[in-house]
């Protein structure tokens, strides 16, 4: 895609009732009901780079347009002299990479965290010499060639994979076809060391990009609580909290997940750590497993529940909060007196207050009393854009019961 020049770029405009102050203050989205969606605007190809103006025809920002989406435009740059091209991509990437290289000694991290890094809708996770790219907005999908080239140039990686399975791409009307953009897909899972644990990331067949880097600091905090304790990790994926707990000195850990393939990777990680004898798995529905463990009279020093997003959008909020409450109610009885319960949410729609309330209701209905000893969020390779609450999606509550 060749970016338009300032003189030939299409222009889209806010309706008179729309308030431009939010854009000027850094909000990165323009909703369809805020735009003049005339025939000309609706005819723009998804991913078109356009000038956004207010109702008085004053420049606001360069945006990527998806006319049929609820988020009809995503802000790319508020400098009128900017040109959204390969040089622009390289400059943004250099800034994102410098932040990660200051934080981490090894090249395993989230390299681009969407709006917070100035790449609306774009996720890039790095696994050593491989990158997994999720272009979840039409503008990025349209520029996937220059974006891939800029990523390869900035990082020196030999493999770039396109992961197209996200819900965001569906909302943008984009395809669901994964692709190899550079090099060859890894033939085996990639080993990633975090907090002393070894995780196996399946970059082609795993969930999302293959591993969840966002929980890294929360894994570390949970590991400190797990020294000398028996640990239960529910919704474990590839061993997330369980393997970190073992690395931190847990006497044993049980990982529960619905995916047999994810648990197999967790077992491989434990084996590489030389801790297989202290690690066990249980495959099946998490709610069923929590119920069964309670009926079996099992007790643990630390119990962690890190479910998928029960409330990914506002229409699902009430049902999602009931699900979080149920997780808390079923897991609290499994915690020894004086032990710790860790409850997590990655739901955009459930803010910290509502999630905390749901957890406390569940703990109370289980007949337990709780101290909140720590609140964790995503790691610093997942920066938060203050103007966009959705970018602060991850919450981890550490309770002592």
Catalytic residues: 346
Three-class HEC string of 133-191: EEECCHHHHHCHHHHHHHHHHHHCCCEEEECCCCHHHHHCCCCCCCEEEECCCCCCCEE
d(CA 390, CA 150): 27
Query: For the chain, how many helices (H) and strands (E)?
Result: 12, 19
DSSP 8-state symbol, 35: B
Name the 3-class secondary structure at 206. Answer: coil
CB atoms within 10 A of CB 180: 12
Alpha carbon 38 to its chain's center: 35
- Kindly report the backbone phi and psi dihedral angles of residue 143, in degrees, each rounded to the nearest multiple of 5, phi listed first: -105, 25
114 Ramachandran zone, left/alpha/beta (phi>0; psi -120 to 50): left
* Residue closest to 312 by CA, chosen among 286, 345, 343: 345
- Kindly report the backbone phi and psi dihedral angles of residue 126, in degrees, each rounded to the nearest multiple of 5, phi listed first: -110, 135
Q: Are 70 and 315 contacting, i.e. CB atoms less than 8 angstroms apart?
A: no
CB atoms within 10 A of CB 102: 8
DSSP codes joined into one string, 116-139: GGT-TTEEEEEETTEEEEEE-SHH
Q: Maximum Cα–Cα distance for the chain, whole Å?
A: 72
């Amino acid at each position: 895609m060749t970016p338009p020049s300032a003189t030939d770029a299409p222009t889209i405009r806010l309706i008179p009732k729309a308030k431009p102050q939010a854009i000027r203050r850094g909000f990165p989205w323009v909703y369809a009901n805020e735009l003049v969606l005339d025939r000309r605007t609706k005819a723009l190809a998804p991913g078109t780079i356009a000038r956004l103006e207010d109702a008085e025809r004053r420049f606001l920002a360069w945006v990527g347009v998806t006319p049929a989406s609820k988020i009809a435009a995503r802000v790319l740059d508020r400098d009128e002299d900017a040109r959204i091209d390969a040089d622009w991509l390289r400059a943004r990437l250099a800034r994102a990479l410098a932040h990660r290289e200051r934080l981490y000694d090894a090249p395993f991290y989230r390299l681009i965290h969407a709006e917070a890094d100035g790449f609306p809708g774009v996720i890039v996770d790095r696994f050593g010499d491989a990158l997994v790219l999720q272009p979840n907005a039409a503008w990025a999908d349209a520029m996937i060639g220059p974006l891939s080239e800029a990523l390869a140039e900035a990082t020196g990686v030999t493999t770039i994979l396109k992961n197209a399975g996200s819900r965001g791409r569906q909302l943008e009307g984009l395809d669901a076809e994964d692709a190899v953009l550079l090099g060859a897909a890894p033939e085996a899972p990639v080993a990633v060391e975090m907090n002393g644990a070894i995780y196996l990331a399946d970059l082609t067949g795993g969930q999302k990009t293959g591993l969840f880097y966002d929980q890294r600091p929360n894994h570390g905090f949970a590991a400190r609580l797990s020294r000398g304790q028996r640990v239960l990790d529910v919704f474990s994926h590839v061993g997330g909290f369980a393997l970190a707990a073992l690395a931190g000195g847990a006497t044993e850990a049980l990982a529960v997940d619905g995916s047999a393939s994810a648990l197999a990777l967790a077992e491989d990680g434990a084996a590489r750590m030389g801790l297989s004898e202290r690690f066990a798995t249980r495959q099946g529905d998490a709610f069923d497993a929590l119920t069964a463990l309670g009926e079996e009279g099992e007790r643990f020093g630390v119990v962690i529940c890190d479910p998928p997003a029960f409330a990914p959008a506002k229409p699902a909020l009430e049902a999602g909060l009931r699900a979080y409450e149920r997780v808390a109610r079923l897991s609290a009885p499994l915690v020894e007196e004086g032990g710790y319960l860790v409850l997590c949410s990655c739901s955009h729609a459930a803010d910290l207050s509502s999630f905390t309330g749901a957890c406390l209701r569940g703990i109370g209905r289980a007949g337990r009393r709780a101290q909140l000893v720590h609140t964790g969020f995503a790691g610093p390779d997942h920066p938060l854009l203050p103007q966009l609450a959705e970018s602060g999606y991850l919450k981890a509550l550490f309770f002592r019961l």
